[in-house]
Amino acid sequence: MLSNRLLSAFTLMSFIALSGCSDQTAVEDTKQDTTAKEAVTTEPVVTASTDAAETEKSAEEAEVVVEENPPRFANITDSLALKPNAEWSWDTLASTPDIQKWDPKTPTKNEYTPEDPSYYIWGGLDDHGGVSAYGTKDKPVLIKINSGQGVMEDETGSAVYKTEDLFRANELTRVKSNCDTEEDGLFSQQFYKWQKPGYQPLYVYAITDQANAGTSSDVGIAKSFDDFFNLDYSNALINLRALDAEGNSVTCTFEL
């Protein structure tokens, strides 16, 4: 009997000891779990203000600067500018924006002057003028933008295109020539270098002619001044004069 009591007491004490170990293990597990949760909650949190700041930064980076008061026909001339080593083609010129109507749209010879070797296309810009391109059958060589207005409509010729209607002032550089005329004369002729940033330089002549019937203007664009005086295009550029200040025929020279 005594041995049975001793065995029961020993069993009870063993159970209590095991229970104590179990409780300690549970406490340790609880502490580890709490530590893990604390570690999770210490991770950095992206706040709404951070998101807003990033969104604002992206919006600023994507902001597009809109040009104020661009030239009236900037879309036209911008499309004519040539990247380095590029050439005009009849197809690309026929895709010039803001053309109201092409006539013709494919390179054609002038049927009224069969001796003229050049080909051309022409597109209207408005009721007062348009864009022409002249060249060989393979490619255009020069561009002409011309306009005119009769004196009965407006004796000041306000609708006639000026250089500032076509080009940004900071992209044009005046080129002195022995074929220049006075700017305020009834007939004026000047020459320019046109240089858009990132594009190759092109060369420009600008003519304004104030006659009894009205006012007209011609603006030519080419890769070289020599192209303007090529005899193949003399009919197209009939208003361009190779004359000095005294009216003598000369070979035009340019101070580049």
Q: How do residues 66-79 score in pLDDT, each as one tens digit?
A: 778 899 999 999 99
Residue 241 in contact with residue 189, Cβ under 8 Å? yes
Reported as type and span, the H/E element at residue 109 is strand 108-109
| Among 187, 235, 86, 205, CA closest to 143 | 205
pLDDT at 37: 43
Maximum Cα interatomic distance, the chain, rounded to a whole number of Å: 150
* Domain-wise residue ranges, the chain: 2-62, 74-233
Q: Would you tell me how many other CB atoms lie within 10 Å of the CB of residue 219?
A: 25
Q: How do residues 17-43 score in pLDDT, each as one tens digit?
A: 434 434 444 434 444 444 444 444 444
**DSSP per position, 40-55:** HHTS----HHHHHHHH
Query: What does the alpha-carbon distance between residue 197 and residue 218 come to, in Å, rounded to a whole number?
Result: 25
Q: How do residues 135-191 score in pLDDT, each as one tens digit?
A: 999 999 999 999 999 999 999 999 999 999 999 999 999 999 999 998 888 999 999
